[in-house]
């Protein structure tokens, strides 16, 4: 994907606190104590929000990208943010016959024209 900016090697060498963007709302968050974790940034009603996807030691960059894609797809399919970002895994938050579940199963994302209720 052309928007991906981070590599596993670059992530391993980051040593300053901050948020490092990979693209499509995925960020590596580094705390003052140099603890690294993945977060997904999205907006709801113009308010910036972050959703944790897991610590770097448990979630590699490819897994974080996949989880961000799943959450992005569910956010695009649901006006109800709480349902889209429910604690259950995003691939199970949608009814089996819903458009976003079908897209997740097929490996597709959601185009900008298909987004409903989510600004990325």
Give the chain's end-to-end CA distance (angstroms, integer).
17
Question: pTM of this prediction?
Answer: 0.69
Question: Hey, what CATH class is 8-114 in?
Answer: alpha beta
Is 16 strand, coil or helix? coil
Domain ranges of the chain: 8-114
Task: Tell me the per-residue pLDDT of 40-81, one tens digit each, with 9 for 90 and over.
Answer: 998 877 889 899 999 999 999 999 999 998 888 888 776 555
Q: What is the pLDDT of residue 75?
A: 80
SS3 (DSSP) at 95: coil
């Amino acid at each position: 994907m052309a928007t991906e900016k981070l590599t596993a090697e670059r992530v391993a060498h980051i040593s300053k606190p901050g948020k490092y963007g990979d693209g499509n709302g995925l960020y590596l968050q580094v705390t003052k104590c140099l603890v690294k974790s993945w977060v997904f940034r999205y907006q709801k009603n113009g308010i910036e929000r972050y959703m944790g996807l897991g610590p770097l030691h448990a979630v590699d960059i490819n897994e974080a990208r996949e989880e961000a894609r799943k959450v992005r797809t569910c956010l695009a399919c649901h006006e109800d943010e709480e349902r889209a970002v429910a604690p259950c895994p995003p691939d199970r938050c949608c009814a089996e016959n819903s458009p976003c579940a079908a897209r997740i199963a097929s490996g597709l994302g959601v185009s900008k024209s298909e987004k409903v209720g989510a600004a990325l």
